[in-house]
Amino acid sequence: MEKNDGSCSTQLIDGDGEFNVTGIDKFITEVRLGECGLSYAVVSIMGPQSSGKSTLLNHLFGTNFREMDAFRGRSQTTKGIWLARCAGIEPCTLVMDLEGTDGRERGEDDTAFEKQSALFALAVSDIVLINMWCHDIGREQAANKPLLKTVFQVMMRLFSPRKTTLMFVIRDKTRTPLENLEPVLREDVQKIWDSVPKPHVHKETRLSEFFNVEVVALSSYEEKEEQFKEQVASLRQRFFHSITPGGLAGDRRGVVPASGFSFSAQQIWKVIKENKDLDLPAHKVMVATVRCEEIAHEKYSAFTANEDWCHLEEAVQSGPVPGFGKKLTSIFYAFLSEYDAEATYFDEGVRSAKRKQLEEKLLQLIQPAFQSVLGHVRLGTLEKFKEVFDKALNGGEGFSLASRNCTQLCMALFDEGCADAVIEQANWDTSKVRDKLRRDIDMHIASVRAAKLSEITTHYEAKLKEALSGPVEALLDGASSETWPAIRKLLRRETEAAVSGLSGALSGFDMDEQTKGSMLQNMENYARGVVEAKSREEAGRVLIRMKDRFSTLFSHDSDSIPRVWTGNEDIRAITKTARSASLKLLSVMVVTRLNDDDNDSIENTLSVALVDSANAAVKDRSITTFDPLASSTWEEVPPSRTLITPVQCKSLWRQFKAETEYSVSQAIAAQEANKRNNNWLPPPWAIVALMVLGFNEFMTLLRNPLYLGVIFVAFLLMKALWVQLDISGEFRHGALPGLISLSSKFLPTVMNLLKRLAEEGQIPAANDPQRNHSHESKSFRNGVSSSSDTSSSTASSEVTSSESSSPSKAD
């Protein structure tokens, strides 16, 4: 590529017909042709070899094409086709200098390249200059005749929608006026046109439909150089604004945009080299397709590398981006606008199709980021819903009202987020994400609803359990005829309270009556289940309850004071009463009676089977009776209400009797022992024998009263020892233990009595011996009485302790 004075040139096609792709690309970049759009013109020149074509172009357009050196002889100067930009002419004008025709260097191959280059020039150029000598006008065998035939022949192979301007430049004009030369030239041109074979469709086509013919004349450059330059300068003015309507290149139909000139010229030359007919409209579409694809690819690559887009794409990975839609729309529009600006001059159909493809590719590139933004908006909206929903519920708002209001609010927020993220060019459907958000909200509402309902239900169930368990246990512990009516009343009261509270709590959930009724019924069933479970639990401890009740009634009197078995109690009656009470407890615990119509004869059955049958068996062991407890179910009582089966009742009663027999036997033994301890008088026969045999001694005592005093004193001493030693208490545990205990306590007790008597004797009694004697006697009696009371209290406490310990041992 050569540069000179603001003009640069390059060889477009070399002498061997090879297209210089690299050279033209550099040339276009250098002259910034791509920025011209459709505002450019292409001028080419044809003519015989060494006819001054390059010289004319250099003077006319300020180019730097190589010129022939006249002093070295006439020879081929331009080989192939050269391309240059005109200096100082607006709009941008490109000039092609074609290899001259009739050159001896090519010989026989001249016509092939001549036709190819002529066809290329006509296909590419807006204006074709035909350089010809003035003296050839009117001559039949002039050098320009073959050239014109070639031009017209190749024109038949072009299917071009526009007219090409043919400017005949007459060189070395003679004195003959141009007005006389031009008609002759036009006549010759018309004859050549008429003589050229034409396709059938162009048989009657006139020359003016293909070409605008212009004729100019120039003086000789060698003889009249100054005049030549003046005429060239005048001709140069006609090339300014040549593309305006009426200008030399005013017909702009089918013009390839400047950015596609290189590719268009390359493809045209390829088709010409392959000797194919050149369909310029189809070629224009092809060039538009390729160039628009290239532009679209460039814009796509530039978009992917755009810093703003990369920042947005990175930002959406970590969270929502405010104004995402507007920011991305701005970037998107910018690149589409750049595409429109660069492709605006290409075929509209192709341009629009490729723009649509570019738009689709960009949207496909953007869509993952858009989906990420929607995902963040959806998650953020869901979290916002959870927050406001919990706040509304904690604020006391009804569940259904809160869920409805919060859902509407958050869906509106999501729609705003979608509107902020949406791209104007994209018609993306956000309904799927919206539906997913709605499903997530509904799922959260359902989970919270279930949790709230479970919480409310659990709360009332806990209240029911607390209100029923303790009282039911207490009522069953004190089992009586009124136990189950009291339990039914308690169950009814607490159930009604719980159901009423639950019904009020459920009013804010906006549920259908069937569901609400089912929940209330479940609450009633739960209350009933609590009572039944507690009943079964207590039924499992019925044996302990029976023994406790027996022990309480057997070992305590009606005032709950522990019994002392003195011998006056009717142990048989007490045992019967205690066992009857225990049997009553068993009959209460056998089945549940939660319905008002739950009446049964279980108590009678148990009484007959366990008490009456036992008495009858004792009276007559030979009688075999029917056992009503030989069954696993109760008559007229469903198994669901059964707590203890008849067989289990029989086993429990047998075990109960076995474990309480010991208490009864202990009571009987204690009573007999007490009777023995309290009976100190000898038998009547002994008393009679003593009176008969001791009559003489008795009479002796009556005759001598001193003996009575001695006996009285001895009695008092014996009484004091009796009380101090607690002889009755010591012998209560047996004769041998009593003797051992008395032997160890006898001497200390005697010494204690003598010591006290000595102390009493040391009190001064000189003035009133009688009073002193009386006082000593009184003190002695008081000591005996006090000791007697103390001993009696100790013995009573020991008996009571012994009696009260009997039931515990039995248990």
Per the CB < 8 A criterion, the answer to whether 377 and 294 are in contact is no
Q: How many Å apart are CA 388 and CA 402, to the nearest integer? A: 9
pLDDT, position 211: 84
Residue for token digits 């532009």?
295
Residue 421, judged by CB atoms within 10 A of its CB (0-12, 13-18, 19+), counts as buried
Going by the DSSP 8-state scheme, the letter that residue 612 receives in this structure is I
Q: How many Å apart are CA 41 and CA 94, to the nearest integer? A: 6
What angle is formed at CA 23 by the lines to CA 17 and CA 24, rounded to 5 degrees?
85
Q: Residue 657: CB partners within 8 Å, gap ≥ 6?
A: 579
Q: Indicate the helix (H) or strand (E) that contains 752.
A: helix 735-761
pLDDT, position 790: 34
666: left (phi > 0), else alpha (psi -120 to 50), else beta?
alpha
Q: How many Å apart are CA 508 and CA 431, to the nearest integer? A: 31
Strand partners, 44: 96, 128
Per the CB < 8 A criterion, the answer to whether 676 and 668 are in contact is no
Q: Indicate the helix (H) or strand (E) that contains 217.
A: strand 211-217
pLDDT, position 787: 36
Q: Indicate the helix (H) or strand (E) that contains 281.
A: helix 280-305
Amino acid occupying residue 731 = F
Radius of gyration of the chain (CA): 69
Q: How many Å apart are CA 811 and CA 804, to the nearest integer? A: 12
Helices 513-539 and 431-477, packing angle to 10 deg:
30
Helices 178-195 and 144-155, packing angle to 10 deg:
50
pLDDT, position 786: 36
pLDDT, position 785: 36
Per the CB < 8 A criterion, the answer to whether 331 and 306 are in contact is yes
> pTM here?
0.56
pLDDT, position 629: 79
Per the CB < 8 A criterion, the answer to whether 256 and 284 are in contact is yes
Number of other residues whose CB lies within 10 A of the CB of residue 467? 19
Give the DSSP per-residue string, 156-169: TTB--SS-EEEEEE
Q: Residue 490: CB partners within 8 Å, gap ≥ 6?
A: 468, 471, 472, 475
pLDDT, position 94: 92
Q: Low-confidence residues of the chain, pLDDT below 70?
A: 1-7, 68-77, 102-111, 139-144, 147, 154-162, 276-281, 283, 598-600, 612-626, 677-682, 732-734, 763-811
Long-range contacts of 633-640 (CB under 8 A, 24+ apart): 634/590, 634/591, 634/600, 634/602, 634/605, 635/605, 636/600, 637/591, 637/600, 637/602
280 phi and psi, to 5 degrees? Answer: -65, -40
What are the pLDDT digits (tens) for 564-623?
777 777 888 888 888 888 888 888 888 888 887 766 677 788 888 887 665 554 455 444
Q: Residue 322: CB partners within 8 Å, gap ≥ 6?
A: 420
Q: How many Å apart are CA 361 and CA 365, to the nearest integer? A: 6
Helices 431-477 and 483-506, packing angle to 10 deg:
160
Whether omega before 748 lies within 30 degrees of 0, making that bond cis, reads no
Q: Are strands 7-13 and 2-4 parallel, antiparallel or unpaired?
A: antiparallel
Give the DSSP per-residue string, 631-646: SSS-TT--GGGBSS-H
Q: How many Å apart are CA 711 and CA 717, to the nearest integer? A: 10
Q: Indicate the helix (H) or strand (E) that contains 282.
A: helix 280-305
Q: How many Å apart are CA 171 and CA 185, to the nearest integer? A: 13
Residue for token digits 């009261």?
493
Q: Residue 213: CB partners within 8 Å, gap ≥ 6?
A: 166, 168, 186, 189, 207
| Longest Cα–Cα distance in the chain | 221
* Strand, coil or helix: 69: coil
